[in-house]
Structure 1
Amino acid sequence: MSDRDLELYDAIQSGDKRALGELYEKYEKLLYSFAFKMTRNRELSEEVVQEVFIKIWTKKGIYQKKRGKFSSWILTVARNMAIDIMRKKKVQTYTLEERDSVYSEEPLTEELFEWKEDAGRVREAMGRLNEDQREVIHLFYFDALSQQKISERLGIPLGTVKGRIRLALNHLKKHLATIDERGGSRDE
């Protein structure tokens, strides 16, 4: 988490609307783009972004620095919010390939660069996972399936799904830290 993100988050915890506005300006486009990839719907994506910032404003202390980077946390909140909203509105979920094929809005150059850079790091780290862990991470994060649905689809116990996700996330965190220490991915 950048020092500025921490300052803004702490200020928001104290009721600083200006800090909320600054944080919104920083993350709104990223969250919208992320939500749109999941929902394929502009209104739902806008709702996701709005709900994320309402949550940050109204629920004190929900981000804990020791659990990871703020940017990762806020994307996780957006992901969970998108899933919740799609379930409530009974919106069909799609695979990444299906979503990407209908994505019609061109991202800004800097957004595209950031996404490609992050995607390369994540792809490299995912490549280091074993096949079972890679599969549950893909189903959980990219296909937006619940842990129960993954259990049913793969025919494995729910506890095994939870364990694989937990282990995979720990491995990904470690691999991404190693990649960051090297200063980028091997492809650069």
Structure 2
Amino acid sequence: MSTLGEIEDMIGRIALGDRKAFAALYAATSAKLFGIALRVLNDRQEAEECTQEVFIRVWHAAGRYQRNGLSPMTWLITIARNKAIDRLRARKAGSSGLDELAELPDAGPGPETLAIAADERGRVIVCMGELPPDRAEAIRRVYLEGETYKDLADRFEVPLNTMRTWLRRSLQRLRECLSG
């Protein structure tokens, strides 16, 4: 995986139309962004299409990326998550006919990938367990099920800004737990 500085440089070069930088960014980040889309959409083909849309968006929006000391992966992940949630909402709004197609067999990840994922999943579960139950549920609902902040605020009967604070602080605690 490229360093965050290298990813930031790639985004800057993409803004200038550098196709090699675009290919390098794709190679460095596509697996992670695909994983995010797959987790939200729970459909491999749709996640692949979503990932393509993410990179089209990156190509067009790279000039608007601003170096601000935050991880450029955060910017990329946000684009991927938002694209996936948009697709999920569109799917819920009206059937696209995809569910009528026959399911194709999936090769799936290999044993090494599964072992690494299980270890990471275990760490996330432990860290999520350290959050208050309502905060952990809010995190799951917004990032895995695509609920809006407004939906969550209504569900938990708290003001919208309180929900934003819950999510921001919970993500900070998760980041600290996972990096420790």
TM-score (norm 1): 0.73
1:62 and 2:65 equivalent?
yes
Q: After TM superposition, which residue ranges in structure 1, 4 or more long, deviate above 4 angstroms?
A: none
| CA offsets 1:129-152 (integer angstroms, 9 cap, x no match) | 222321211211122211121122
Residue identity opposite 2:65 in structure 1: I
1:87 and 2:99 equivalent?
no
Deviates more, 1:51-60 or 1:103-112: 103-112
Q: Contact 1:30–1:111 (CA<8 Å) still a contact in 2?
A: no
Over the aligned positions, Cα root-mean-square deviation in angstroms equals 2.7
Structure-2 change in CA distance of 1:144 and 1:106 (3 Å): same
Q: Distance in 2 between the 1:13 and 1:114 partners? A: 34
Structure 2, gaps ≥5 residues long = 95-104
For these two proteins, the number of residue pairs brought into alignment is: 167
| CA offsets 1:55-96 (integer angstroms, 9 cap, x no match) | 21111242645223x34442332111100122234368xxxx
1:53 and 2:55 equivalent?
yes
Map residues 23-172 of structure 1 onto 2, 5 A cutoff: 23-59=25-61, 60-62=63-65, 64=67, 66-68=69-71, 70-90=72-92, 105-172=107-174
Q: Contact 1:151–1:157 (CA<8 Å) still a contact in 2?
A: yes
Q: Distance in 2 between the 1:89 and 1:143 partners? A: 13
Residue identity opposite 1:133 in structure 2: R
Query: What's 1:22 paired with?
Result: 24
Q: Contact 1:63–1:73 (CA<8 Å) still a contact in 2?
A: no
Query: What's 1:100 paired with?
Result: none
Structure 1, gaps ≥5 residues long = 93-102, 180-188
